[in-house]
Amino acid sequence: MEYNIVIGLETHAELNTDTKLFCGCSTSFGSEPNTQTCPICLGLPGVLPVINRKAFDHTLKTALALNCEINDFVNFDRKNYYYPDLPKNYQISQNHFNVGNNGSVDIIVKGEKKRIGINNVHLEEDAGKLVHPEASDAGHSLIDFNRAGVPLVEIVTNPDLRSIDDVQGYMHTLRNILQYINVSDCKMQEGSLRFEASISLCRKGAKVFGNRVEIKNLNSMKAVMKVLAYEISRQKELLDKGAQIVMETRLWDEVDGVSRRMRTKEEAHDYRYFPEPDLVPILVDKKSIDRIRETIPELSAMRRQRFTSEYLISDYEAGILTESKPLADYFEECVKLTIVSPKELSNWIINDVLRVLNEKKSHIQDFTISPKMLVDLIEMKSEIGGSIAKEVFSEMSNTGKDASSIVREKNLTPLSNAEELNFIISKIIEDNPKAIEDYGKGKKSALSFLVGQTMKITKGKANPKILIDIFREKLENNL
């Protein structure tokens, strides 16, 4: 049978603030367990939370970048549940008065533009982290509260995603926006970006959606795609058999490649949300909105369009260059520094710079070659020739030295001294009478051979075009 697929996605992104949402503890990743805690984030009695201004501004910025309506009255709620990593037994979140509602994100799927609705954008605190010892008979688990209280922005879509391709397009676009507006580092390997998906299938033409299944704790885009593919085939199989889909929450088992039931709807939590009495509501005025809106840079979709029209590069190239803001900035910095065509700069960045970054598993922000250094090298290219330029580039990326020092140190200056070249060429002609004879008989390949011999002796430092001219002249005169 044919089914329509309906998917909604919730995304949690850790905001890149220095301190936690309601206390002054550091948010840096990878410290010794429980070294970044205080009575507030440990939920000890009698403490009071104080809101982190930057975290709120980042959430507002996210909501604006996702085209949300901003609420002028924003309040926090307590989401009550018990879990060992949640010392207060409630999480401070937002349920009734979010920062933003009714937004949208445009994604491109298979060349077609599609608009995904954003239900809401809100701010909440992260929980701690349970650490389970590897030995299965350890009989205990450990808790690290360093993450407890780290600010999270949660972005909830409407159920507008209709395929795994849609989901992939949405996740990439969202991550790209969050990185462009610089509110989160989005490092999935450090848990900075996490997803929850809900999915249901209904028969083609049906008026109501099917029962939906929620999948929690997905720590990578790959896991999201895998679990959704699995769920689509699992639910299809059940529906084909005439069975009902149970409304439930499931977990993805990465090792076995299956999703498993966590709890059914009957066992679901009633979080008993109520307004957080320890925090005053936040009134968001137009001035604050304007102030934050001004900090939002040109986003990648716009920038991609501008790159094609302003720099006359292909949409494909513009897409690669604007994939990350630092890379797009790097390219534009190069453009500003030189009269070399943007197209040539784009070729160098896409073919050479990205290849090296890929090999080194590094980012453009940490790249040893600055825009100025790259431009200097490309400007030298006509003088030193293409193959030497590539050699110098690879040396620059390894050592961080600039092009002219490398050319000098390695004695790569091209042979432009006519006298010296003439001397070498005369010697080559003397040493290769057979080739000269062949050339005289009209064998043109003899010329390539002679040029090749010269390149060998000069270690590639002679300009082949000039060589051919000199050879021709000498040989014609000899005949």
Q: Which residues are at the interface with Zn ion (CB under 5 A)?
A: 23, 25, 38, 40-41
Q: With contact defined as beta carbons under 8 Å apart, do 76 and 91 qualify?
A: no
Three-state DSSP at 422 gives helix
CB of 21 to Zn ion, least distance (A): 9
Comparison of 43 and 464: residue with beta carbon closer to Zn ion: 43
CB of 40 to Zn ion, least distance (A): 5
CA dist 441 and 436 (Å) reads 9
Give the phi and the psi of residue 5 in degrees, each rounded to 5. -105, 130
CB of 140 to Zn ion, least distance (A): 25
CB of 25 to Zn ion, least distance (A): 3
**Residue 384 identity (one-letter amino acid):** I
CA dist 186 and 15 (Å) reads 9
Give the residues across from 154 on adjacent strands: 12, 122
Comparison of 38 and 51: residue with beta carbon closer to Zn ion: 38
CB of 19 to Zn ion, least distance (A): 8
Q: With contact defined as beta carbons under 8 Å apart, do 13 and 155 qualify?
A: yes
CB of 84 to Zn ion, least distance (A): 18
DSSP class of 411: T
Comparison of 65 and 127: residue with beta carbon closer to Zn ion: 127
Comparison of 25 and 123: residue with beta carbon closer to Zn ion: 25
In 296-397, which ranges are E strands? Answer: none
* Angle of CA points 367, 150, 228, to nearest 5°: 80
Q: With contact defined as beta carbons under 8 Å apart, do 26 and 36 qualify?
A: yes
CA neighbor of 303 nearest in space, from 394, 177, 454, 139: 177
**Residue 90 identity (one-letter amino acid):** Y
Comparison of 8 and 149: residue with beta carbon closer to Zn ion: 149
CA dist 105 and 98 (Å) reads 18
CA dist 62 and 153 (Å) reads 8
Reading the block at residue 391, the tokens are 């050699």
What is the residue whose two structure tokens read 């925090």? 279
CB of 41 to Zn ion, least distance (A): 3
Comparison of 21 and 450: residue with beta carbon closer to Zn ion: 21
Task: Give the distance from CA 345 to its chain's centroid.
Answer: 22
Comparison of 41 and 375: residue with beta carbon closer to Zn ion: 41
Comparison of 44 and 206: residue with beta carbon closer to Zn ion: 44
Reading the block at residue 377, the tokens are 């090298």
CB of 279 to Zn ion, least distance (A): 15
Comparison of 9 and 41: residue with beta carbon closer to Zn ion: 41
CA dist 85 and 141 (Å) reads 11
CB of 123 to Zn ion, least distance (A): 17
